[in-house]
Structure 1
């Protein structure tokens, strides 16, 4: 396995599904994993698993734990901001930010339209805006830790954003909401890669695998969690000259996102909306 000795990696959505398996693999490879989750009990259980994985692989840090825990509900931008402040205060460096936390097409809410604590359509808020805010607030630490990386775990399931009704107040459809939020992640990654060019921070996004057996999958499994972990791990650990910056990957191979992602005017509109909704 590729060594990640000395790397500090913040993994959001680390307490379930692919995130939980990825956290353990990162620890086995020598990384210190910052485990993020929403539920304190699941965070604690995951932290134990990750620490055990590190010890089994001989990657203990003596008195320094191979895992540290952070709690935040991504349905609240105030909690996202608090998470960023906690990381900035407690962590002297951050080598990788993996924006993995998200919700699916039908869960929660059985496909009904829901809103976040900030009154924003829930899937757009959790899947996209939370990672947008976290990434921007942690940029100073990522730049000071360069070479460093941001990896957005998105999806090949994308749909062009309806800028006239981004929050889908009319004719809501959970699938469209999910697909819009995932495309927004990719578009933001493209923008961040350009913004950070030359600063030693690479930014990539990916579709890890199709219909893994997780609670957010809307269909029977077509891929394994291990496949998703392998694709995401590669963007975290492979040499930067292999992965580059600004790319979108479909599994282990470079892919193509929805056409709107390559439209500079559309990305500019998304930036404007993101700033308006988050106050950044």
Structure 2
């Protein structure tokens, strides 16, 4: 039995995965942005006969992300699986650039900076509980960022912003895997399924092509089976090993990404 933190658990893929985890006997730490919805989810998960705890934080605020990590480390020191699932999509057609509580481009903040900050906060506990694992929910839609405009202020596009954030998450995953080699902490990134039937996809004006059940298979395999232990620094499409954008494997790119990331994480 593992203790699993899953972000973005109150809807879509995260909600489906949370129920599957509880039903398989895992202790679920269910994160949500809205307190009422998070508490309602925990009540439903508990009614399934499982153990679940709710955690509320707005991942668009780095202060709240770090507080979330501190609370988990203090209150649930047995955590051995982190699923960075929460994210935001392209936005409604025609919508403009949005910013986080810290003034960063919103998709970069939620889809990338928040997982990085939360992972860093929990790494000491995950190392202590090895073998442990980190599962980053990425996307096949990946686009290299412009490091001279990492916060995407010029010629903004919500679609491109989303793809840049997912490129960064994949590259970060591969760099982190090298850093954690030999520690017993594995970290992988996956494209769960294409255009799942979620509010995020529908908001973007896209007709769903798959279900959240389709997407859950890869997340659950990496979180709970040997697939997520014997592999680290890998990209999956569902449960199948695949290749991310070629640029995500560039070690020089990793250095630029780390420098840009650290610069934004220090700006709150």
Band of TM-score, shorter chain: over 0.9
Q: Does 1:246 align with 2:233?
A: yes
Structure 2 matches for 1:53-132, cutoff 5 A? 53=48, 55=49, 60=50, 66-107=51-92, 111-132=95-116
Q: Does 1:147 align with 2:134?
A: no
Partner of 2:259: 272
Partner of 1:181: 165
| TM-score where L is the length of structure 2 | 0.95
RMSD: 1.5
Q: Secondary structure at the match of 2:46?
A: helix
TM-fit CA distance, 1:162: 1.2
Q: Secondary structure at the match of 1:249?
A: strand
- CA distance 1:90–1:156, shift in 2 (3 Å): same
TM-fit CA distance, 1:242: 6.8
Deviations for 1:232-277, whole angstroms, at most 9, x for unmatched residues? 1011111157751000001121111111101111111111111111
Deviations for 1:82-103, whole angstroms, at most 9, x for unmatched residues? 1111111111211100000111
Q: Distance in 2 between matches of 1:71 and 1:222?
A: 30
TM-fit CA distance, 1:110: 5.5
Deviations for 1:110-137, whole angstroms, at most 9, x for unmatched residues? 6310111111000000100000000011
Q: Distance in 2 between matches of 1:246 and 1:204?
A: 5
TM-fit CA distance, 1:70: 0.6
Kept in 2: contact 1:151–1:236 (CA 8 A): yes
Kept in 1: contact 2:221–2:228 (CA 8 A): no
Q: Does 1:212 align with 2:189?
A: no
Partner of 1:63: none
Kept in 2: contact 1:235–1:243 (CA 8 A): no
TM-fit CA distance, 1:279: 2.2
Q: Secondary structure at the match of 2:123?
A: helix
Q: Distance in 2 between matches of 1:133 and 1:227?
A: 28
| TM-score where L is the length of structure 1 | 0.91
Deviations for 1:11-70, whole angstroms, at most 9, x for unmatched residues? 0000110100100000001100000010001101111222123x1xxxx4xxxxx00111
Q: Does 1:12 align with 2:7?
A: yes
Task: Structure 1 unaligned segments of length 5 or more: list them.
Answer: 61-65
Q: Distance in 2 between matches of 1:257 and 1:233?
A: 20
Q: Secondary structure at the match of 2:95?
A: coil
Kept in 1: contact 2:188–2:228 (CA 8 A): no
Partner of 1:36: 31
How many residues get paired? Answer: 264
Task: Structure 2 unaligned segments of length 5 or more: list them.
Answer: none
Deviations for 1:164-195, whole angstroms, at most 9, x for unmatched residues? 21121111000000000011111111011111
Partner of 2:221: 234
Q: Secondary structure at the match of 1:216?
A: helix
